[in-house]
Amino acid sequence: MNRLFTGTALIAMLAAGPTLAEDKTTVTFLHKYPEPESMQFFEAAVAAYEAKRPDIDIVMEAVADEPYKDKIRVLLASDQVPDIFFSWSGEFGRKFARDGRTYDLTEALAGPEWQGRFSEAALDPLRFEGKQFGIPTNVNAKYMVYNKTIFDEHGLEEPETFEDFIELLETLKSNGVTPIAYGNQAPWAGTHYIGDFFAKHVPDDVRTADYQLLSKPEELYTHPGYIKALEQYQALNEYFNRGANALPHAAARGSFFAGRTAMMYIELVEFYMVPGSGLEEAGWSFFALPTVDGANGNQNLLTGAPEGFLLSAGTDVAKEALDFVNFITSPEMARDYVKTTGMTSAVIGSVTEETASDAVLAGLQRLEQADGMALWLDTDMDTASANVILAAGQALLSGDATPEGVMAEVRKKALEVQTTR
């Protein structure tokens, strides 16, 4: 009897304990930047915010790129969506908005505390049907980075047109140099090339309508530019390193940084990895994939995308969550972000000579010269068609698919999904 009494009293105290200590509002926050540099920034930012607002408790979690795609779906399905969560722009983010899982930020972002923070190019890919569903935090772009020493050895210069580019590749190949490092084992790498070529060969309005399944059924994915784009991708096969389909992107990048190949197509957010590597000593620069004469698409779109944070539709703490995101995207915090992580924040004025390396600054400036961004294909196309392209990126290299066959399959899958929308 005594033991029962003590036991109950203990449990009652334990239950009361947390509630007594608590008058804080909890905001849950999930992002995909677990790298030490990024965590350094985010942990400092959370601590600074909690010091400013002692009534708010930010519970933060970070998961890497691939596992993030699994985790967010599990959380959505089990209805445990964090108040603030990361998303890529384009279709990846749109599908959350389409199913009503995101908080509409249109009004909030029109407020005075958000004015002049983000460019239209960063905000637009995070809109669905005119409504803002995401706040951009990073912009990213993809460039062909090259090893200056190797280029100088063979008297090569940055190509102006795609034909110049092919000549350049031929020169390297005939001199026994592996022209381009390429790791397509995780097939998103191929979609970056293919996405860029689609943007160059297919008129922008046709392409975006196709991606979002807004085209008329008889015209969906029928533009001949798509096939030309895939043929162009296939033509690069002989200039990639051997066994690209078996090589992880990171391994290919390591090989490029060690000076074993002349070039690699990498993202602006990977530029910070160069200092300290063999590539830094050899000297390096970059160019956007050059224009294709006679192609029908917009030659001045740059492959890249913003990414950012979304708020859950079911959140009870929208005001606090927005305040926190406003805090971490403020000009001072954004400059700190760029300095600490080397990434390109979407906040206007955060990437300057003081905060970023020359290369990153140049990368962002080149992005600002573009007419817009061609978003990552695997996050922009509807999922079923994107899956076909993901597999095709590997199959076109191994000879197991033809450009016509791939587009026919893409069209078939797209039509199936279109009828359900």
Contacts with another protein, residue ranges (CB under 8 A): 69-70, 73-74, 76-77, 95-96, 98-101, 185-187, 241-248, 251, 255, 383-384, 387, 391-392, 394-395, 398, 400-401
Residue 146, CB-side half-sphere exposure with 13 Å CA sphere = 24
Phi and psi torsions of 320, nearest 5°: -65, -40
Min dist. Cβ of residue 199 to another protein (A): 23
Give the residue with the Cβ less far from another protein, 223 or 411: 411
Give the residue with the Cβ less far from another protein, 25 or 245: 245
Give the residue with the Cβ less far from another protein, 333 or 392: 392
Q: Map tokens 């009293």 to a residue.
A: 9
Give the residue with the Cβ less far from another protein, 121 or 397: 397
Give the residue with the Cβ less far from another protein, 141 or 244: 244
Rg (Cα) of the chain, in Å, rounded?
A: 24
Min dist. Cβ of residue 378 to another protein (A): 10
Min dist. Cβ of residue 68 to another protein (A): 11
The one-letter code for the residue type at 225 is: G
The one-letter code for the residue type at 258 is: A
Give the residue with the Cβ less far from another protein, 101 or 201: 101
Give the residue with the Cβ less far from another protein, 73 or 131: 73
Q: For residues 293 and 381, what is the distance between their CA atoms, to the nearest angstrom?
A: 26
Give the residue with the Cβ less far from another protein, 7 or 243: 243
DSSP state for residue 260 in the 8-state scheme: S
Min dist. Cβ of residue 247 to another protein (A): 6
Beta strand 84-88 pairing with 131-132: unpaired
Neighbours of 388 (CB within 10 A): 22
Q: For residues 375 and 139, what is the distance between their CA atoms, to the nearest angstrom?
A: 11
Min dist. Cβ of residue 77 to another protein (A): 4
Give the residue with the Cβ less far from another protein, 56 or 230: 230
DSSP state for residue 104 in the 8-state scheme: -
Helices (H), 175-317: 188-201, 204-211, 224-235, 249-257, 278-282
Min dist. Cβ of residue 98 to another protein (A): 8
Min dist. Cβ of residue 389 to another protein (A): 12
Closest CA to 171 of 158, 156, 181: 156
Neighbours of 206 (CB within 10 A): 18
Contacts of 60 (CB under 8 A, 6+ apart): 29, 30, 31, 42, 43, 46
Min dist. Cβ of residue 79 to another protein (A): 9
Q: For residues 6 and 12, what is the distance between their CA atoms, to the nearest angstrom?
A: 10
Min dist. Cβ of residue 397 to another protein (A): 8
Give the residue with the Cβ less far from another protein, 60 or 76: 76
Q: Is 365 left (phi over 0), alpha (psi -120 to 50) or beta?
A: alpha
Min dist. Cβ of residue 92 to another protein (A): 11
Cα three-residue angle 381-94-411, rounded to 5 degrees: 25
Give the residue with the Cβ less far from another protein, 172 or 395: 395
Min dist. Cβ of residue 363 to another protein (A): 28
Q: Is 276 left (phi over 0), alpha (psi -120 to 50) or beta?
A: left
DSSP state string for 131-161: EE-EEEEEEEEEEEEEEHHHHHHTT----SB
Residue 6 burial (10 A CB sphere; 0-12, 13-18, 19+): exposed
